[in-house]
Structure 1
Amino acid sequence: MTVTLANLLAILAMAAATYATRVSGLFIADRIPKSGRARAALDALPAAVLTAVIAPTAVATGPAETIAAGITVLAAFRLPLLATVVVGVVAVVVLRLLLGS
């Protein structure tokens, strides 16, 4: 594999952007509101991003995966994270076997 100058510069630029994003959190952490509506919006952000990433994949893959995603969401209301992951994986495996996907 040959590394060209353009590839090397792209990798270094991506590394710098990633590092800058992480370090910027240290500098703006004291400016984040501790209460109020802005804080509530920031608290909801991780779940919103996760939903935006997972939902299209769950709906576009097939019926077994879509049903398993629904089962996993329901399990997440009652179970801790690790148990929810186990329920999701088992649901996909069983549904794929039953539905022949």
Structure 2
Amino acid sequence: MIELTLTSSTYLTIGAAALATYSLRLGGLMLASKLPQSGRFKKFMDALPGTILLSLIVPGMVEAGIIGGIAAGCTAICAYKTKNAFVSMLIGVLIVALYRRF
């Protein structure tokens, strides 16, 4: 059995990670007011969340194979029709889970 112990270096590492994370968030908020609010940069920034989402979804979809594509398609259709992200993701997860179960 593995015994886990919390040492001062563990707490220091967690604290440093939290400090770095919140510093980046605060820096982003402070920098946002200085960025251009129109033009090509705004178009780029508006497209960024979608591209990040795709970079997270596509590898898992490809790994799941044809059922991953079917689940992604059903999820996209559900999201378009219902405008509800939670229900859409739930549909996709259920399709893959049911396929794996049966």
Q: What is the TM-score normalised by the length of structure 2?
A: 0.76
Once the two structures are superposed, residues 1-24 of structure 1 have per-residue CA deviations (whole angstroms, 9 ceiling, x without a partner) of 311233222211110111101111
Q: Does 1:5 align with 2:39?
A: no
**1:58 is matched with which residue?**
61
Q: Does 1:27 align with 2:30?
A: yes
Identity over aligned residues, as a percent? 36
Take 2:69 and 2:16, find their aligned partners in 1: how far apart are those partners? 37
Counterpart residue identity of residue 66, structure 1 = G
Give 3-state SS (helix, strand or coil) of 1:23's partner: helix
Take 1:2 and 1:40, find their aligned partners in 2: how far apart are those partners? 49
Q: Count matched residues.
A: 98
Q: 1:92 aligns with which of 88, 92, 96?
A: 96
Unpaired runs of 5+ residues, structure 1, are none
Unpaired runs of 5+ residues, structure 2, are none
1:90 Cα deviation from its structure 2 partner: 4.4
Q: What is the TM-score normalised by the length of structure 1?
A: 0.77
Counterpart residue identity of residue 58, structure 1 = M
* Structural RMSD (CA): 2.3
Displaced runs of 4+ in structure 1, greater than 6 A? Answer: none
Output aligned runs, 1:28-43, within 5 Å.
Answer: 28-43=31-46
* CA separation of 1:71 and 1:2: change in aligned 2, threshold 3 A: same
Report 1 or 2 for greater relative contact order, CA contacts < 8 Å, sequence distance ≥ 6. Answer: 1
Q: 1:45 aligns with which of 32, 48, 56?
A: 48
